């Protein structure tokens, strides 16, 4: 029997259900499709990249419009960012978050249009978006920012660092700062280095016109692996959502699922 990755198992549902906003008891119209089924419909779209209007009704998830509206409602309530933080805290409690270093990167643009799009540096005739990622030393995604394709990577360095959520799970205050930040020459900037040091973070970033820092590539490969995992979700491999908030909902959901897999692996 083939595994259906969009099916929400009981263990994951225990984590997700308390975070979802309750449905109004006296809402007009017929009884709504259950949150669990709607979430599975959203996951089906995330995994397969299928258009909303083609979501198969026979799977029992409700219509594409039903799942789309539930996704919109959950994103407005901050559900997916909250889930991401919860699982990061669980990983941190299990000792699976490596704060000794963080890595930043941004691969080629995600095509299609919508908010936060711009001319692709590869093909000026096409507009697209770009994902900027910061991950820990193990490759666990800490934050992803979506920008237009023509936004330089270096401009998002501090935004990524500052956007890392406070991660609980250990004794003391929640943590959000790595000890060092690793980046390639696309992140070369003296002002950014100064700002990183003010935040107590050691910048380990190759300089333009100089040889790469020895051994940096062996430490930074984890960010490329994380991007490969993130873009295995077909809805993220190419940007289809014109609305930035809904695209970011899928991005946060993808990060949440990566964290969930790592947590299950660490605890079994």
* pLDDT tens per residue, range 225-237: 999 999 999 999 8
Distance CA 126, CA 215 (A): 36
Structure letter (DSSP) for residue 23: P
Query: CB 235: neighbour CB atoms within 10 A?
Result: 23
Q: Which residue has the tokens 């119209």?
A: 29
Q: Residue 4's pLDDT band (boundaries 50, 70, 90)?
A: confident
- Domain ranges in the chain are 10-15+32-76, 98-254
| Residue 31 confidence (pLDDT) | 66
Report whether 145 contacts 247 (CB < 8 A). Answer: no
Residue 5: half-sphere exposure toward Cβ, Cα within 13 Å = 14
Distance CA 78, CA 249 (A): 9
Distance CA 242, CA 135 (A): 26
Which two structure tokens, joined as six digits, stand for 30?
Answer: 């017929």
User: Lowest mean pLDDT: which of 107-111, 171-175, 205-209, 252-256?
Assistant: 107-111
> Per-residue pLDDT tens for 176-202?
999 999 988 889 999 999 999 999 999
pLDDT at 118 over 50: no
| Residue 214 confidence (pLDDT) | 63
| pTM over cut 0.85 | yes
User: Lowest mean pLDDT: which of 14-23, 104-113, 121-130, 227-236?
Assistant: 121-130
| Residue 240 confidence (pLDDT) | 84
pLDDT at 126 over 70: no
Q: Residue 26's pLDDT band (boundaries 50, 70, 90)?
A: low
Mean residue pLDDT across the chain: 88
Report whether 167 contacts 84 (CB < 8 A). Answer: no
Q: Which residue has the tokens 């093909």?
A: 123
| Residue 158 confidence (pLDDT) | 96
Find residue 104's DSSP bridge partners. 134
| Residue 268 confidence (pLDDT) | 82
> Per-residue pLDDT tens for 244-257?
999 999 999 999 99
Q: Which CATH superfamily is domain 98-254 in?
A: Ribonuclease H-like superfamily/Ribonuclease H (3.30.420.10)
Please give the average per-residue pLDDT across 128-150, as a whole number.
Answer: 92
Report whether 45 contacts 55 (CB < 8 A). Answer: yes
Q: Residue 122's pLDDT band (boundaries 50, 70, 90)?
A: very low
Please give the average per-residue pLDDT across 216-232, as a whole number.
Answer: 87
pLDDT at 121 over 80: no
Which two structure tokens, joined as six digits, stand for 233?
Answer: 């979700």
> Per-residue pLDDT tens for 62-94?
889 999 999 999 999 999 999 999 999 999 999
Please give the average per-residue pLDDT across 160-181, as a whole number.
Answer: 94
Residue 13: half-sphere exposure toward Cβ, Cα within 13 Å = 12
Where does residue 244 rank: exposed (0-12), middle (13-18), buried (19+ CB within 10 A)? Answer: middle
pLDDT at 124 over 50: no
Please give the average per-residue pLDDT across 166-172, as a whole number.
Answer: 91
């Amino acid at each position: 029997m083939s595994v259906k990755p969009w099916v929400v198992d009981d263990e994951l549902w225990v984590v997700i259900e308390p975070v979802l906003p309750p449905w109004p008891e006296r809402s007009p119209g017929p009884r709504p499709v259950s949150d669990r089924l709607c979430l599975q419909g959203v996951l089906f779209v995330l995994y397969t990249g299928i258009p909303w209007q083609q979501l198969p009704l026979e799977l029992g998830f409700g219509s594409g419009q039903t799942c789309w509206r539930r996704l919109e409602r959950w994103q407005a309530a901050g559900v997916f960012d909250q889930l991401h933080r919860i699982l990061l805290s669980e990983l941190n409690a299990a000792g699976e978050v490596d704060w000794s270093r963080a890595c930043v990167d941004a691969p080629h643009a995600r095509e299609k249009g919508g908010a936060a799009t711009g001319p692709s540096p590869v093909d000026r005739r096409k507009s697209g978006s770009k994902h900027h990622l910061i991950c820990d030393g193990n490759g666990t995604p800490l934050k992803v920012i979506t920008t237009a394709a023509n936004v330089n990577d270096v401009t998002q360095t501090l935004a990524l660092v500052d956007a890392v959520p406070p991660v609980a799970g250990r004794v003391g205050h929640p943590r959000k700062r790595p000890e060092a930040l690793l980046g390639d020459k696309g992140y070369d900037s003296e002002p950014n280095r100064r700002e990183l040091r003010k935040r107590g973070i050691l910048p380990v970033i190759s300089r333009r016109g100089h040889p790469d820092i020895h051994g940096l590539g062996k430490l930074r490969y984890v960010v490329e692996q994380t991007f490969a995992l993130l873009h295995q979700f077909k809805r993220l491999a190419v940007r289809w959502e014109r609305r930035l908030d809904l695209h970011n909902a899928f991005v946060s959901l993808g990060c949440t699922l990566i964290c969930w897999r790592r947590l299950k692996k660490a605890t079994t």
